[in-house]
Chains A and B, each alone.
Chain A
Amino acid sequence: MRRGRSVGFVVTVALVLGLWGAADLTGSASAGRIPVGMPLEFETDEQEEQYRRLVRELRCTVCQNQALDESNAGLAADLRGQIYEMTLDGAEREEIVDFMVARYGDFVLYRPPFRTDTLMLWIGPFLLLLAGILVWLQVIRQRQQMAQSRELSPEERAALERMERDE
């Protein structure tokens, strides 16, 4: 009787552990996920350098104002895993960037490509700066003209005389 009970106990424990293991496998834990701050091992310094640069330069598409390296979103963890795996497999930087752009579009790039449809993005600030400089030069020129004309106009003269009379 006693023996039967302990066998039952062992079987129950084994079952529970087995179920727990199975649930873990099908659950969120998967090989491709890299949580923020998880220590990683690389074969070479170049690989590590490439990985660190890419996760800073690529944007998380769920939490749009974060780079991949700082985002806690599930997708960011998956994409870090993807970059890590590709890096270890010997993929070049461009290959990984192309992989991401092909799936998520230019939006994943914090450094957008220089093309006709992104032209304003790149040269817009310089155009604004140029416009500002032109306005500034114009203002300076007007002030210089004002300072140079010493002759009072008839209206100015009349106004001056009025002021003097009032005193």
Chain B
Amino acid sequence: MPTVKEILETMDYGPAPEASGEVTAWLAARGRFGHFINGAFTKPGETFAADNPATGEPLAEVTQGTEDDITAAVKAARKALPKWAGLSGHERAQWLYAIARHLQKRERFLSVLETLDNGKPIRESRDVDVPLAIRHFYHHAGWAELIEDEFPGHAPHGVCGQIIPWNFPLLMLAWKVAPALAAGNTVVLKPAEYTPLTALAFAEICAEVGLPKGVVNIVTGDGRTGAALVAAEVDKIAFTGSTEVGRLIRRATAGSGKALTLELGGKSPFIVFADADLDAAVEGVVDAIWFNQGQVCCAGSRILAAESVAEDFTRRLTARLAKLRVGEPLDKCTDMGAIVHPVQLARIHDLISAGEAAGARLIQAECQLPPKGSFYAPGILLDAHPANPAMVEEIFGPVATLSTFRTPDEAVELANNTRYGLSASIWSENLTLAMDIATKVKAGVVWINATNVFDAAAGFGGMRESGFGREGGREGMAAYLRRPGPKAQPEAAAGRLDAAPQTGSPAAPGIDRTAKLYIGGKQSRPDSGYSYAVTYKGREIGLAPLGNRKDIRNAVEAAHKASGWGKVTGHNRAQVLYYIAENLAARQAEFEARLHDTGHSPKEVAATIRRAFYYAAWADKFDGAVKSTKTRNVTVAMNEPWGVIGIACPDAAPLLGFASLVLPAIAMGNRVVAIPAASMPFAATDLYQVFDTSDLPGGVVNIVTGPRDELAKTLAQHDDVAAMWYCGGSEGAAMVEAESAANLKATWTLPNRDWSAAQGREFLDRASQIKTIWVPYGE
């Protein structure tokens, strides 16, 4: 070590290593790990090494989980379920509290272990990962305590299969395990193969606490183990990881009835306006993309700077980049540690090379990287255009693109020019502007003048291909609970839709009434030019259009054009819904007769009028929340409409079924493309005259008649449809879930039911997604 005199010349920082003796002794004592199943560790099976990415040296051997291991773990969880779910909320709260306390007492141990296993700097595991994980257990001890009051009638899903990534191993475990246990589920968790060790330490803590056997099971292994867990007899799958794997899981679970939440990738915008505190924004970039080596799903990886300050901002950012210290993760002076694995390092190299090949210019910190281990110098990519792979693909490394915009509108356009929608960071001292942008970006989490701020009380999760479901807060708890559901009822068969003339059953006398499609507020003929005869007891009721994929395309386009509907006040939407009720009431007798003549209950009309009143009432009352998170921070959970929802309606209750699904959707500001009951489409098409006279803007409700499953498939495959509701048979439900994987749209497949009672908060929850906006304040 240099002398004090020498250091006075250089004023270097010198090494400041965190001691790791306790942890390495633990690893040496354990050596080879089995799985944690039914409260005990199994004998190690076929093992693989968990390496320290900073050295490439093995830390321990862990077992590759087999199908049998998964089966055993699920069995243990299943066995433990009745007793665990049967505990009072208070009793479960005590267990969660005990876990939180024990984690807290092992804080330094877990921090050091996490850093060894993952490569992240000790500062981050010590100041971010572990404290947040502990906070998550405390917070959910609270939810367990309150569950009977706050979620009356709800039940746990049962056994939850949970698959977590390697970027925040213990924290992601906490995000998954804490709410699951609080809600009364038991879990089988598979940590990432690169970073299994803190999960195994957590297993020991569960044993130390004396958690009942089988409540928490941990099976280590790679993607094959994860696939086995997805296929196993579990009631819910919760996954955090890549969009690619999320899609596979969506397809694999389609039609299985397993609940699913997915927290996937991102390519999140980091928007710097001209009036921002540029130095603060520079530090924001440090906390965004140079945090955790950039291996953060919500990292601000696309920096968008206003042209007027872009040069100044880039200069400041480049100067800051030069100050970053990259190296030994256990050193307390390290800003950036090791990339988790050589495979990931290679991926970063590849994507950056592709970005450069496509014309981007890399500015990288000129730091001395350690001679061994997986390290990558942080940087920024300039001159990347929207099609550049580095702008499109999630790099998951410490490099952000930096490009410019001219106006706030253009900033939003660029921000949303991505298939993802996880987070956004907005920098401006003008709160009017910042909030405007916050409402316009497609992102589940928005930070204003901040980035990567987390708290257990706030929901976290994405839109679009960043997944669905939220973790944290009330909404995160809801994702681990089942609502009291209605009894499923058999679906009426639609029969074949025949385009040929039906000569045997002449239509009733009088002026012929022709139903058309209703698209963009206009009645239109089907693209196919075909119609089919709607019959009742062999008698032709009328002709309905045979809609096809082009009609669906046109309807979705019309729905997108009606985006203003999502921006008007709840009061405005309520007025339209009331007006619909009023105009339907004026024609009540006619609608009742039509239903009666086709064998349906005339009571559907009165119930539909009431439903319109019900959702008119809700339109301005389905409030968001202000979350209790950090000091001096308004954390707002805002209910936002999805945008365009596809709805395949039940055949039974052709009017009320249609209304029960369409009305809550539009009450929340969505636009819908609805496929009405094929056996009695007129119940819906008769409504378009009511809509026309009720000031419902064209395009808010679009009706395409025809074969339900065929049209639903086109909707499910449509990349510009954000959510899909399907009421029908299990085959159709499976199809919709599988086809929705392409753009990872949120699906709701619901069985036919007694529609007279089909209303309530669940419909509104399904019709909206929560955007969490963080607004720190303070002068």
A and B associate in one complex: no
Q: Chain A interface (Cβ within 8 Å of chain B)? A: none
